[in-house]
Each structure stands twice: as structure tokens, then as C-alpha cells.
Copies of this chain bind each other. A is one copy, B any other.
């Protein structure tokens, strides 16, 4: 006799296989596909998405969920099977709320919007993109109505990326952050000349960059027998199962930072994906608890570890040996300062740790108000520039360097930005907790050893995949809710030392 639970697992395995095929097609499109393949690939992807959606939202899934819930009702709430039913039911409810026709309309609009946005960005003309953005926002408002919310319309969209987090939580968190961040940026800006990033801007052989970064992530614990790294225009991490997780990187032949720190960043995502317990991964509970928790790992391994002094105490001699001409005469202290230089800048993806969150806060405040209908699209560019003036002390000279820089809104990704900052806060909160549990981590980092830190993350985060909500997971791991205290203390200590504040 087959139980409903077994039926549910088999059904989810099929849905996951269809999604894995989509994901492989997406990965291939950005890494391997010859350019002529684009048109057929679009057809293939459309079919795969349709089949995965239709098979998931089928009434049979609801029937299996209901029966499986009864079958698992006596299990502890943390049991894999209880979690499977609970999480899948949540996913199912969300997937069923939005009509397929609406999804198709949004997909069509954002496909067109991508071209409009890219052209407007290239031509530095926000006005050309504004009408399309208005249509997207209208559809996202509609989507929020489908999804439902009780307090703020933004809650509905935020919830799809970060379950159970409310707009009010984010607003409060960012208001607290701003109070500390804005003065810190001002204090650092006053001493801007005391740190130079010039040593990072030299010719660096790409093959050597790649070899050095892959050596480092091997020490981190990226499992190359269950993953690989390739080149792509936009770095990303994509997994097809916990046993096949791939990252991509882009190389700048004249700038050391993008490829190296980009590789560490994607490796953080990848180790999270590789860490999912195989038995939950096969039925759809692999991956991360939310975008914010996922980002905590990319930022942890990129910044808290990878831009830390201890890390470079161990690895800098090897980097110098790899690039003796470029770095032979740059000492450890100056290199460490160079990779941590803070400077208000226009482009989010190139921002340092201190200013990064201000870029995010600006986007959050604007998209929240746009969605709520509190600001007309026509005011967006001026509002963007005013906030850059207020928070970072600079005004973008062009729309290209300002309101048009990010792909997110053109792709319909509204409610996504705050998860980047949550990742930053959580990276330090989790790191501190790991160090409290295992004080040896501090000395181990200076020896190029990462097993204790990674193992703590594995036990507390990775192996659980999507079993728990972010709130449960963070509470279980750190004994408290997400907080900005640890993160601000980390920033202040680190950058006061670097800038002599």
C-alpha cells in the first residue's frame, strides 16, 4: 500500500525534476549555449515552466497534501515528513493564488520590459522606461491583491522572498541602521584619503586569478565533486540538486576584486545548497530558508571571512607568490585596507560593506512607496537622487548611474531588495554565535582552516534546507530574532580600526 506521503514525495520529485531541467537550461544559456540557440531555448523554457506549474497546482497535489497531513499529524513538528507537508502546503497555497493567465501576462510584460529598460539605461533616459515601470507596478499591485495581506500591500510580495517578515519590521530595521550608518559613512568620508585601493587595479592574469580563487574555495569546503565553476556575464549560483551545485564568475583582467570576492560570494550560496540533507533535498526541501538567510552565507564567506584580517594573514603570502610583480611590495596591512576601502559610490553591486546597506535602504523605501501608490512613477528619479544626496552625500550624474542601474524592477522583482541587507545582518549574527560556541574559530581562520565554522553553519543552517521558516531557523541557531546590533558593532570596530576613527 502506498501512503499519500509517498505519493506526495513522488509527485514533488517530478515537479523538482522539471524545475531542475529548467534550471539546467538557464545555466546552460548563460554559460555554454551558442547564440543561435536562444529562440528555441525560449520555447523549451516556456514548456518546462508550464509543465512544472501545472503538475504542481493540480488538484491531485491538494488531495495528497490533505491525506499526508493526516498521516503525519502525530509526528513532531521538526520531523522531515511533517516539515515536507507543511512547507509544500505553503508553497501550494501561494502557487494557487496567482492565476496562470496573470503569470503569463506578467512574464510577457517583463520580457518586453527588459528590452525597454536595457535601451533606456544605455541611452540614459528614465522617461523612456517610466511608462513600462508603471505597468509593472500596476501588475505587482494586482499580484499583491491575489496573494493577500493584512497590513501593508508590500507585505504580500516581501513574503514570497522572506516568509513572515513584514514591511513594518523592515522599516524599523532600516530606520535603526540609518541612525548608525549615515554618521559612520560621513566619518569615514572625512578620512577617505587614508586608504588606497590602487594596488587592486593592476593587470592580473585571469588563469592565475581563477586558480587562486579555486584553491581558496576548496579550503572553504566547496565540494568540486558536487559542483563546478564556469564563466558568465553575470555571476550566479545555480543548483540542480544538493549534489550538483554550480557557480559562475566573471574576470576583470585589470582588477583583482570582482572575480575573487565574487567567487567567495557565490561559494557561500553554493555551500548552503550543497549542505542540504539528501533525504529532504529530493522532495523539495533543499536549498535555503529564504533569500535573506541564503544571502547571509554569501556575505559571511565573502566579507566576514574573506575580507577579514585573519583570512589574509594566512593567504596573503600565497597571493603575493601568485602575483609577485603586482603585490610583492604591497604589505599585508595595506592590502587588507585596500580590499576594505569605503567610498560612497553610485553603483550598488560595486559598493563596500559600509555603504552597501544604504543603497538597499534607498531602493526599499522607494519601491515600498511606489507599490503603495504613495509616489507617482514620475517622481521616482528625483526621489532616487534626493535620497542618494541625503544618505550617501552624492548625486548620480546620470540615470544610468542612478535609477536605471538595477535589473530588478524591470524583471518584476519587487520586495526582493531588503533580503540583501537581511543577509548582511545575519552574516555577522550567525558568525558571532558560531565563534561563541567555538572560540577556536578565530585562530583557525588565521591558519586557513574553515572546518569548524563551516560545520557550525552546516549543523545550524545548511542541512535543514527549507524545513524551517527563517524566523524559526535563526531563532534556533542564535537564540534570538534577527538583529542589527551585531552587524553595526562589527562595522564600527572593523572600520574604526582601518580608518583610525
Q: Which residues of A contact B (CB under 8 A)?
A: 13-14, 16-18, 20-22, 24-25, 28, 32-41, 43-44, 46-48, 50-51, 223-228, 240-244, 281-282
A34 and B225 contact, Cβ closer than 8 Å, known pairs A25-B21, A28-B24, A40-B282: yes
Closest-CB distance, A32 to chain B (whole angstroms)? 7
Which of B33, B50, B223 is the one whose CB lies under 8 Å from A244?
A: B33
Contact A244 B37 (CB under 8 A): yes
Which of B18, B41, B223, B225 is the one whose CB lies under 8 Å from A47?
A: B18
Which of B18, B20, B33, B50 is the one whose CB lies under 8 Å from A40?
A: B20
In the complex, residue of chain B having the shortest beta-carbon distance to the beta carbon of A19? B44
Contact B240 A40 (CB under 8 A): yes
Contact B18 A51 (CB under 8 A): yes
In the complex, residue of chain B having the shortest beta-carbon distance to the beta carbon of A241? B40
Contact A48 B18 (CB under 8 A): yes
A37 and B224 contact, Cβ closer than 8 Å, known pairs A21-B24, A24-B25, A28-B24: no
How many Å lie between the Cα of A13 and that of B281 in the bound state?
A: 31
How many Å lie between the Cα of A48 and that of B44 in the bound state?
A: 13
Closest-CB distance, A206 to chain B (whole angstroms)? 16
What residues of chain B lie closer than 8 Å to A48, measured between beta carbons? 17-18, 21
In the complex, residue of chain B having the shortest beta-carbon distance to the beta carbon of A15? B47
Contact B36 A243 (CB under 8 A): yes
Which of B13, B33, B34, B244 is the one whose CB lies under 8 Å from A224?
A: B34
How many Å lie between the Cα of A241 and that of B38 in the bound state?
A: 10
Contact B282 A36 (CB under 8 A): no
Which of B14, B33, B227 is the one whose CB lies under 8 Å from A51?
A: B14
Contact B282 A223 (CB under 8 A): no
Contact A44 B17 (CB under 8 A): yes
Contact A226 B34 (CB under 8 A): yes
Q: Which of A16, A24, A281 has the most CB of B within 10 A?
A: A24
How many Å lie between the Cα of A300 and that of B481 in the bound state?
A: 69
What residues of chain B lie closer than 8 Å to A51, measured between beta carbons? 14, 18, 51
Which of B25, B32, B243 is the one whose CB lies under 8 Å from A39?
A: B243
How many Å lie between the Cα of A454 and that of B13 in the bound state?
A: 45
How many Å lie between the Cα of A42 and that of B225 in the bound state?
A: 17
Contact A47 B243 (CB under 8 A): no
In the complex, residue of chain B having the shortest beta-carbon distance to the beta carbon of A14? B47
What residues of chain B lie closer than 8 Å to A28, measured between beta carbons? 24, 28
What residues of chain B lie closer than 8 Å to A47, measured between beta carbons? 13-14, 17-18
Minimum-distance CB pairs A-B, first 6: A37-B244, A17-B47, A40-B241, A36-B226, A21-B21, A17-B44
Which of B22, B37, B227, B240 is the one whose CB lies under 8 Å from A241?
A: B37
How many Å lie between the Cα of A374 and that of B14 in the bound state?
A: 39
Closest-CB distance, A315 to chain B (whole angstroms)? 25
How many Å lie between the Cα of A223 and that of B223 in the bound state?
A: 36
How many Å lie between the Cα of A389 and that of B411 in the bound state?
A: 64
A17 and B37 contact, Cβ closer than 8 Å, known pairs A24-B25, A32-B228, A51-B51: no
How many Å lie between the Cα of A330 and that of B242 in the bound state?
A: 53
Closest-CB distance, A248 to chain B (whole angstroms)? 12
In the complex, residue of chain B having the shortest beta-carbon distance to the beta carbon of A47? B17
In the complex, residue of chain B having the shortest beta-carbon distance to the beta carbon of A22? B21
Which of B14, B20, B225 is the one whose CB lies under 8 Å from A36?
A: B225
Contact B244 A13 (CB under 8 A): no
How many Å lie between the Cα of A332 and that of B32 in the bound state?
A: 38
What residues of chain B lie closer than 8 Å to A240, measured between beta carbons? 37, 40-41, 44
How many Å lie between the Cα of A13 and that of B43 in the bound state?
A: 8
What residues of chain B lie closer than 8 Å to A44, measured between beta carbons? 16-17, 20-21, 240-241
A14-B51, A40-B241 given; name 4 further pairs at CB < 8 Å: A36-B227, A40-B242, A40-B281, A41-B241
Closest-CB distance, A178 to chain B (whole angstroms)? 43
Which of B20, B21, B36, B227 is the one whose CB lies under 8 Å from A34?
A: B227
What residues of chain B lie closer than 8 Å to A18, measured between beta carbons? 47-48, 51
What residues of chain B lie closer than 8 Å to A241, measured between beta carbons? 37, 40-41, 44
Closest-CB distance, A149 to chain B (whole angstroms)? 33
Closest-CB distance, A21 to chain B (whole angstroms)? 4
Closest-CB distance, A78 to chain B (whole angstroms)? 25
Can you offer 28 A-B residue contacts whose CB atoms are under 8 A?
Answer: A13-B43, A13-B47, A14-B47, A14-B50, A14-B51, A16-B44, A17-B44, A17-B48, A18-B47, A18-B48, A20-B44, A21-B21, A21-B25, A32-B228, A34-B225, A34-B226, A34-B244, A36-B225, A36-B226, A36-B227, A36-B243, A37-B241, A37-B244, A40-B242, A40-B243, A40-B244, A40-B282, A41-B240
How many Å lie between the Cα of A47 and that of B34 in the bound state?
A: 26
